[in-house]
Amino acid sequence: MAAAFAIIPFNSAKAQSDDELGVWTTVEASTKLSKGLKLEFEAEHRTIDSKGTIDRVSLGAGVSYKITKWLKASAGYIFIYGHTPEEKKIKWEDALINDFGTFYDYNIDHAYWTDRHRAHISFSGEYKIGRVELSLRERFQYTYTSSATTEETKYRWQQNFDANYNEMEPTLILRETTPELKEAKHNVTLRSRLTAKWDIANCKITPFASVELYTRLDEWKGFDKLRYRLGASYKIDKDNEITLYYLFQHENDIDKPRTHAIGLGYSIDL
């Protein structure tokens, strides 16, 4: 029930990076194999800004099984091709900004792409109160991120002074670009998602709201990420459905921006 505590804010004293606004699009398909057993497929594309910069693309497949009327188990694999944007790392011990707007001593990690392999297993429970359906999904996922080669550029500046010790425009004394290896890494995460859906009488539109809590299990640092969704799904017919939602994501890391996204989804039962 960890998601029930997701309303607790992260440390508000931490500075936040600039927010990002992207578009997340998803296509899902499922087919019934036998009573209670389904085969499922998913493809997703994410952007991170108004320019349409790609954040990641992914393809996944899995199976789900309805254990009881209210309990479902599922497992699957997702291949993710992810983009890591350019990052500026200030050498804070020497990085006081001067009157000319220049930081002393910083490194630029250039953008690069990596392969990620993710396996997951989930258990979902549902409970209905009147026309409101509550569901809780607990997902354990293991993600392996492959190593990648990129470049790092170092910038070093020298501050200049005039005869009266007034600051003059600094001089760039080093600009050096060298290859950099990003080591492979892995993580184990528990994702707890609480969702509420409203069944409106004689209406094909189903509003929903959810909150999802990410917790690293292999490297305990408290809550890693909170993700909120607010949207609605529209049942075109018994086999086809479209979904539109707004997403807000807040990470417990001062170097990570808050994410805003408009989500578009399409699902079909084959």
We report the CATH number of the domain holding residue 136 as 2.40.160.40
Is the pLDDT assigned to residue 199 strictly greater than 50?
A: yes
Is the pLDDT assigned to residue 6 strictly greater than 50?
A: no
Q: What is the pLDDT of residue 253?
A: 72
Q: What is the pLDDT of residue 170?
A: 85
Q: Convert the pLDDT of each residue in 211-257 to its tens digit.
A: 999 999 988 777 789 999 999 999 999 999 999 999 999 887 766 77
Q: What is the pLDDT of residue 74?
A: 98
Q: Which of 44, 23, 34 is nearest to 267 (CA)?
A: 44
Residue 76 lies in a domain: yes
Query: How many domains, in total, are found in the chain?
Result: 1
pTM of this structure: 0.83
Q: Which of 211, 66, 247 is nearest to 136 (CA)?
A: 211
Residue 56 lies in a domain: yes
Residue 8 lies in a domain: no
Residue 9 lies in a domain: no
Residue 2 lies in a domain: no
Residue 207 lies in a domain: yes
User: Domain of 197?
Assistant: 16-269
Q: Please report which confidence band the pLDDT of residue 10 belongs to, taking 50, 70 and 90 as the band edges.
A: very low
Q: Convert the pLDDT of each residue in 82-100 to its tens digit.
A: 999 888 888 766 566 766 6
Edge-to-edge order in the sheet of strand 87-90: 87-90, 106-109, 148-161, 167-182
Residue 222 lies in a domain: yes
Residue 3 lies in a domain: no
